[in-house]
Amino acid sequence: MRNLLWKEWHEQSWKLGFACIVLGALALIGMRSRILADQTMAMWVCCLGIMLLPLLSSTGLVPAERSEGTLESLLVLPVSARKILVAKTVMGIALCVLPMIVAALASVLVTGNREYPASAMLGMYGRFTVASLYLFIWMLALTIHLPSETRAGALAMGMVIFWGLATAGFAEPSTPRSLAAISPLAPVYVYGSAFERCPPLVVMVLVPAVIAVILWNWACKRLTNLEGRP
Amino acid sequence: MSEQPVIEMRGVAKSFGKNHVLRGVDLSVPAGQTFAFLGRNGAGKTTTIRMLLGLLKPDAGQVRVLGLDPRFQQLEIRRRVGYVAEDQVMFGWMRVKELLAFIAPFYPTWDAAWAAELVNRFELPLATRVKHLSKGQGVRVALLLALAHRPELVILDDPTLGLDPIMRKEFLRDLVSYLQGEKVSVFFSSHLLYEVEPVADSVVILDHGRIIRQAETEDLRANVKRILAPADAEEILRGLPGLLDITRAGRQVTAVVETIAAARTVLAAANVTYQEIDLNLDEIFEAYVIGRKETSNAQPPLERVA
Amino acid sequence: MFIRIETSSGLPITRQIADQIRSHSASGALLPGDRLPSVRQLAKELAVNQNTILRVYERLTAEGLLERRHGDGTYVSNAPSRGQAKAQRELLIQEIDRLGHRALDLGVDAAAVHKLMDESFARIQKERAGNRKG
């Protein structure tokens, strides 16, 4: 396992540095310049994060290796597909979480409590991070069989748009609230914003988590899919 | 050494959509031999090898490698089998020593001292990144990775693809010294027969999804021969047992038979004067794979110029 | 000892190697008491299956051309035995049969072949004498 993690780290660490710098700098500069209200600025940084990070990590972890041809070299080794995917998932999680932490710290350090309570700001970053983790799992599972990064990126982008619109649609009074729980973006929308009568916390946490686990297991099986190449 | 065959396949079939790549493959590879797996491009060699390693599941039939089922015990199999893929793409950014350090933990039987010795013998630069290695060095790295954990069986899928003739000879030399020397079973797929022949103990020919011949190389050479006889003997030749190919050539007719001994008896009984011609493995392969059992004119009939 | 293998020849590889060892022994390139390379060495040098080399050595040992000394390797035997002379004769007979077929194909009769043989021998002996001097 250690050697698998070492490999993923070496391959993806540049992305981690890049994302941390971009989000951190944006948060820093944005907050200092005060072109927008602190809360709005933070929300924009979070939105950039949730659109960039899951996509960057999921497309680079499997589709990129598949197109390069090195995935087969991995699958031929005496190691279960599950272990390979665990190492990749760990790296993906790091890629989704760490830059957000950097941006969150930068934001709080600059703004303190001046307009918006620090705890609320951290809460916002936190919710967006959880949502991007769920989104990452969704993207990983649905693009894992694709042989090209660009196709995977396109599909992932489509997913963000779809879930964004869908979750907004859940705000309609006629839709049952609990349905919103299946969306990976649920943590963002349902908590904090003016979303009356949101489902109980347990539901909001457990349902997406269960879906994520199911999707991840499904992804494991599809990782080894070589059927397309006789 | 166990007498159990290292590879066994019975009635294995595999299709990709409408493409029936394998249609009932029966194969038994005994231990301690160098086995050549021959077939045209697209005959299903790579598919077969992928099934041996558990990368693909057969649609029908049974596969056993070292007595284990690749569908359920593929990790155990891969630990005891060395594999060199055709045109292998390895992690280009890693340096050779990093690659070795990455691969080693997967194999409990990895022999670091042996790996170090192979690095020396293959003259591999440890600090160079894999993407900067020459093609020949790349193949040697792949061979090293396949040998370092002391496998019982090594599977090579067209390993000399893209190598120049000198590198190919070197590779075969390495195969002979490091694998045959250590009594490792070798399963070697190739479509370059002239290369395979000096090195293989036995050959198996895959064509149109089936095994059409399995034999020891010496036996094949000794038994499959070409017969050249005058054209009036065509009927007799056509009726020969084990006929693989028959062609008319002007005033003569020539046929390739599987067992020359049987053919000799028939021809002697029919009092036919004929000539026996030895065949190389390329020609034998050709006879099996594109042989025509109905006579056709190889050359246009000779015209009498009065 | 120089051995060349023609991979695309119709002749089996064991035949090719055995023939060349025999002719080296006949021509004096290999002298009685000379040590042959080990099976592993020769297999590696020629890029040929070790079993093939083993078979060649075994065949030539059975003929009496070579002898295996336990733990020491394979040597050219000191006294060419009857078996070896017989084997060499048989080789020659095969060559002569081939010559006979060719002659018949070309429409040359036995008497003409005898004459041509005598001329050939004379020519060859002259060449060899000349080479030895030079």
List own/partner pairs for C76-80 with CB under 8 A and 24 or more apart: C76/C25, C76/C30, C76/C31, C76/C32, C76/C33, C76/C34, C76/C36, C77/C32, C78/C32, C78/C33, C79/C32, C80/C32
- Check residue A173 and give its pLDDT: 67
Residues of chain B with pLDDT > 90: what percent?
43
**Contact residues on chain B for A6, CB-CB shorter than 8 A:** 102
Average pLDDT (C94-104) is: 84
Residue A145: which pLDDT band, with cuts at 50, 70 and 90? confident
Q: What is the pLDDT of residue B303?
A: 59
pLDDT band at A5 (very low <50, low <70, confident <90, very high): very high
Whether B53 has its CB under 8 Å from any CB of chain C: the answer is no
Q: How high is the pLDDT of residue A117?
A: 81
Question: Under a CB-based contact definition with an 8 Å cutoff, are residues B206 and B37 in contact?
Answer: yes
Q: What is the percent of chain C where pLDDT is above 70?
A: 91
Check: CB of residue B2 under 8 Å from CB of residue B169: no
Lowest-confidence region among A36-45, B17-26, B103-112 = A36-45
pLDDT at A229 > cutoff 50:
no
| Both structure tokens of B65 | 């490698």
Burial class (CB in 10 A: 0-12, 13-18, 19+), B112: exposed
Give yes or no for B98 touching C (CB within 8 A).
no
Indicate yes or no: CB of A226 within 8 angstroms of CB of B50. yes
The confidence band for B125, taking pLDDT boundaries of 50, 70 and 90, is: very high
Per the domain annotation, does A228 fall within a domain?
Answer: no
pLDDT at A20 over 60: yes
Give the number of other Cβ atoms within 10 Å of residue A214's Cβ.
12
| B172/C47 CB distance under 8 A | yes
CA distance A70 to A67: 8
Structure tokens at B102: 């990455």
pLDDT in tens, B254-279: 999 999 999 989 888 888 888 888 88
Q: Report CB contact under 8 Å: C52, B194.
A: no
Report pLDDT digits (tens) over B67-117. 999 999 999 999 999 999 877 778 889 999 999 999 999 999 999 999 999
Mutation target vs A (from B23, B52, B102; most A CBs, 10 A cutoff): B102
Q: Is residue A230 part of a domain?
A: no
- Any CB–CB contact under 8 A between A25 and chain B? no
Percent of chain A clearing pLDDT 70 (strictly above): 88
**Amino acid C10: pLDDT:** 78
- Tell me if A73 and B89 make a contact (CB, 8 A cut-off): yes
Is B185 at the interface with chain C, CB within 8 A? no
Give B162-209 pLDDT, tens digit per residue: 788 888 888 888 888 888 777 789 998 887 887 888 889 999 999 888
Out of A3, A11, A70, name the one closest to residue B105 (CB): A3
| pLDDT confidence of residue B1 | 46
A171 has a pLDDT exceeding 70: no
Contact (CB<8Å) A226/B19:
no
Chains A and C lie in contact, requiring 3 or more CB pairs less than 8 Å apart:
no
Nearest chain C Cα to B223, which residue?
C12
Instruction: Give the count of domains, chain A.
Output: 1
What pLDDT score was predicted for residue A193?
53
What is the average pLDDT across A196-206? 69
Would you say residue C103 has pLDDT above 70? yes
Question: Chain B contacts of A3, Cβ < 8 Å?
Answer: 101-102, 105-106
- A77 at the B interface (CB within 8 A)? yes
Q: How many CB atoms lie within 10 A of CB A30?
A: 22
Query: If residue B277 lies in a helix (H) or strand (E), which one and from where to where?
Result: strand B275-277
Q: Is pLDDT at A197 greater than 70 in this prediction?
A: no
pLDDT value for B169? 86
Q: Do B198 and C9 lie within an 8 Å CB cutoff?
A: no
Higher local confidence (pLDDT), B4 or B162 = B4
Structural domain harbouring A66: 2-223
pLDDT of residue A194: 47
Q: Does residue C105 sit at the B interface (CB-CB below 8 Å)?
A: no
Fold of B7-219: Rossmann fold (3.40.50)
Mean pLDDT of A65-89: 89
pLDDT greater than 90 at residue B298? no
Q: Cβ contacts of residue A130 below 8 Å, gap of 6+? A: A187
Q: Is the pLDDT of residue A195 over 60?
A: no
pLDDT in tens, A112-129: 777 778 888 888 898 899
Longest dimension (CA), chain C: 55
Q: Which segment of A54-63, A178-187, B282-291 scores lowest on mean pLDDT?
A: A178-187
**Which chain C residue has its CA at the smallest distance from B35's CA?**
C49
> Which of A191, A170, A158 minimizes the C-alpha distance to A51?
A158
Give pLDDT tens digits for C44-85.
888 888 889 999 999 888 888 888 888 888 888 876 665 566
Q: Checking DSSP bridges between strand B275-277 and strand B34-39, what pairing results, if any?
A: unpaired
The per-residue pLDDT for B9 is 93
Residue in B with minimal Cα distance to C44 = B173
Closest CA to B220 of B189, B246, B242: B242
- Residue A169 · residue A186 · CB < 8 Å: no
Pick the residue from chain A with its C-alpha nearest to B142: A73
C50 and B198 in contact by Cβ < 8 A?
no
Across A34-43, average pLDDT: 83
| Contact of A200 with A191, CB cutoff 8 Å | no
Which of B198, B222, B275 minimises the CB distance to C52? Answer: B198
Residue C113 has pLDDT above 50, yes or no: yes
Q: Which two tokens stand for residue C101?
A: 């077929």
Whether chain B has a CB inside 8 Å of the CB on A17: the answer is no
Q: Which helix (H) or strand (E) holds A114?
A: none
Q: For chain B, say whether C124 makes contact (Cβ under 8 Å).
A: no
pLDDT in the model for residue A177: 67
User: Is A117 within the bounds of a domain?
Assistant: yes
Mean pLDDT value across chain A: 84
Note whether residue A229 is domain-resident.
no
Between these two residues, A204 and A135, which has the higher pLDDT value?
Answer: A135
Task: Answer yes or no: is pLDDT of A228 > 50.
Answer: no
| Interface contact A76, partner B, CB < 8 A | yes
State the smallest CA–CA distance between residue A14 and chain B in angstroms.
13
What percent of chain B is modeled with pLDDT above 70?
94
pLDDT score, position C83: 57
- B224-297 carries CATH number 1.10.30: no
> Is there a contact between C13 and B201 if contact means CB atoms under 8 Å apart?
no
Q: Where are the domains of chain B?
A: 7-219, 224-297
